[in-house]
């Protein structure tokens, strides 16, 4: 009985060793052919007997290439800047308003921005501060960044509309300087704005 047990133990142990040796010896062999396929020398030396030939050459045919980004100027089909108010007239820069959580200028606000840009173009000596504001919902830090993105988006449009960027200053007040302090949507909308200060 003992010898049978010992024998079967040896059989199990040996078969285990065989499996292990397959693992151990198998690994390095696997690595080298992959290395060969990737090396450019074997790809282009014309040797027909390599395994990769069966797959029609390079295993990884997918390649990528960066394309130049389209210039944003071409994305805007802008009408020419109208001749707005005459120099010396009091500033009539209207504020614009944003959707909840958004910083993109709504298309219905573009005419207002065009008008603002026209006035600034006509009054070359004037500078403008764009104040970004957010409603009280949301966290302080995120709202500071969000409000600045709003002001910054407005700045981009003004520049597109011909106002030199050197005349524009972007400021964020986040949720810190609300125009309205009631707790309703009408009030929140009042506070999601870009406000213009002419200097």
Partner 1 sequence: MMWFLKIFFVIVVLSLQMPPLYAADIFLGTSKKRFDKIPIGIVSFQVTTPAHTASSSPKQPVELNDVLTIESVLNADLIRSQLFRVIPLDQGDKNGLDLSKEPGKAVMDWAKNKGVLAIAWAKLYPIADKWVMESYAYEANEWKSIIRVRMTSDTVRPLAHRFSDKLIYHFTGEKGLAETKIAYASDRGGTREVYLMDYDGENKIRLTSAPYMILPPRWSFDATQVGYTFYNHGVSDVYLVNLATSQRRKVFSSSRLSFPPVWSPTGDRVAFASTKDGNSEVYTMHPDGTHLKRLTSHHAADLSPTWSSTGNEIAFTSDRGGTPQIYVMDADGGNTRRLTHSGDYNTSASWSPQGDWIAYTCRNGGGFLKLCAISVDGRQQVEITTQGAWDDESPSWAPNGREIVFTSNRFGKSQIYVIRPDGTGLTRLTSDEGKNTSPVWAPR
CA distance linking residue 15 with residue 11, whole number of Å: 6
Q: Which is nearer to partner 1, 66 or 141 (CB)?
A: 141
- Note the residues at the interface with partner 1 (CB under 8 A): 20, 23-24, 101, 129, 137-142, 144-146, 148-149, 152, 169-173, 176
β-bridge pairing 128-132 and 96-97: unpaired
Report in angstroms how near the CB of residue 145 gets to partner 1 at its nearest: 5
Q: Which is nearer to partner 1, 172 or 191 (CB)?
A: 172
Report in angstroms how near the CB of residue 59 gets to partner 1 at its nearest: 27
Report in angstroms how near the CB of residue 93 gets to partner 1 at its nearest: 17
Q: Which is nearer to partner 1, 110 or 169 (CB)?
A: 169
Q: Which is nearer to partner 1, 58 or 185 (CB)?
A: 185
CA distance linking residue 190 with residue 183, whole number of Å: 11
Report in angstroms how near the CB of residue 158 gets to partner 1 at its nearest: 15
Report in angstroms how near the CB of residue 173 gets to partner 1 at its nearest: 7
Q: Which is nearer to partner 1, 112 or 151 (CB)?
A: 151
Helices marked H in 102-182: 110-122, 140-160
Residue 171 vs residues 31, 92, 149, 150, 186: alpha-carbon distances, Å: 58, 20, 10, 10, 24
CA distance linking residue 161 with residue 116, whole number of Å: 9
Report in angstroms how near the CB of residue 52 gets to partner 1 at its nearest: 30
Are 113 and 157 in contact, with CB atoms under 8 Å apart? yes
Q: Is 98 exposed, middle or buried (0-12, 13-18, 19+ CB in 10 A)?
A: buried
**What are the beta bridge partners of residue 196?**
130
Q: Which is nearer to partner 1, 51 or 183 (CB)?
A: 183
């Amino acid at each position: 009985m003992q010898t049978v047990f010992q024998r079967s133990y040896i059989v199990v142990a040996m078969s285990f060793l065989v499996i292990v040796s397959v693992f151990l010896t198998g690994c390095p062999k696997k690595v080298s052919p992959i290395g060969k396929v990737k090396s450019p020398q074997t790809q282009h030396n014309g040797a027909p007997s390599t395994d990769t030939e069966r797959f029609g050459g390079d295993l990884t045919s997918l390649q990528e290439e960066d394309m130049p980004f389209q210039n944003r100027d071409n994305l805007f089909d802008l009408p020419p800047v109208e001749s707005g108010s005459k120099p010396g007239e009091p500033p009539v820069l209207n504020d614009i308003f944003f959707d909840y959580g958004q910083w993109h200028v709504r298309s219905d606000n573009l005419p207002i921005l065009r008008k603002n840009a026209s006035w600034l173009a006509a009054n070359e000596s004037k500078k403008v501060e764009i104040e970004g504001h957010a409603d009280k919902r949301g966290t302080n830090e995120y709202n500071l960044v969000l409000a600045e993105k709003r002001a910054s988006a407005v700045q981009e449009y003004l520049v597109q509309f011909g106002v030199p960027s050197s005349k524009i200053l972007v400021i964020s007040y986040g949720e810190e300087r609300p125009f309205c302090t009631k707790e309703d949507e009408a009030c929140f909308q009042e506070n999601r704005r870009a406000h213009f200060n002419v200097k």
